[in-house]
Amino acid sequence: MKQLTIISGKGGTGKTVIASSLAVLASDKVLVDADVDAPNLHLMLSPQLISQQDFWGAKTAAIDEDTCLKCGLCAGFCRFGAIDDQIKINPYRCEGCGVCVQVCPAGAVTLKDELTGYLFLSQTPYGLLSHARLKTGVAEASGKLITAIRRVAEEMAQKQGMGQIIIDGSPGIGCPVIASLTGTNLALIITEPTLSGISDLKRITGVTEHFKIKTAVCINKYDLNEENTREIAQFCREKNLALLAKIPFDEEVIKSIQKGQPLVSYTKSRTTEALEELWGKVKDEL
């Protein structure tokens, strides 16, 4: 089973637009939306919900007031300031580390599971989609939630005999991105010819290099600034990264988003031809 993770290093590069088109062009696949903080791949794929599960991915400390000695040790050892002078837990500060449990002489502190998000499995016209939504204020559980939806996708791919998993990864370079990339066969970086796009391309390449993940690059809206496009191409040569495609700017993209359709299903143009060529090269890389 081959796994492709589409990443960007920053938001707004067109990652999900490209991911949704690759979802149409690919056969024999299961899809994953690994942006659990702000998922949007489902907006392009017309999913029908099959199942929903609660996800308990974090823990919060709780103090039994009848047992508590009010000694203050827990507050003194809590590095997150989650326990106040009245020995009350602030759940928005608590990281569930368990130090308070260890230092309490009366055994008054316990860790309780916290509902941190929801897992969804949906059927789309282009295949199964494993996706999720993280509850507000529990970002520390995002990596765990992404791992869970990837596990669901792998199980469904094995069950249905699918040979590929296409993952629309999270933006940035943090924990959610690392969870999106772990164990993948190819990271496809979607960048754009802007100064911030170049900067974030370099940052995310540092992540894939660190984890020794095979990496390729696609420049979206390359014709908006061809000087910066040449700089990106030069960076790819220096880093020995395969530059698989240069996608032109296309106003039809906005219309396809408004219609909630992947671009390659919505229209035929030189942009969709470039996307078809991109998918052919991605298959070769995989």
The pLDDT value given to residue 254: 92
| Mean pLDDT in residue range 198-221 | 96
Fold for domain 57-115?
Alpha-Beta Plaits (3.30.70)
Q: What is the chain's mean pLDDT, rounded?
A: 94
**Residue 138 — very low, low, confident or very high, per pLDDT cuts 50/70/90?**
low
- What average pLDDT does this structure show over 216-226? 96
Instruction: Select from 3.40.50.10490, 3.90.180.10, 3.60.150.10, 3.40.50.300 the CATH code of 2-46+125-285.
Output: 3.40.50.300
List the chain domain ranges. 2-46+125-285, 57-115
Amino acid symbol at 63 = I
Of 192, 242, 238, nearest in space to 214 by CA: 242
Select the more confidently predicted residue: 92 or 185. 185
pLDDT of residue 128 exceeding 60: yes
Position 140 scores a pLDDT of 64
27-78, pLDDT tens digit by residue? 999 999 999 988 999 999 999 999 999 999 888 999 999 999 999 999 999 9
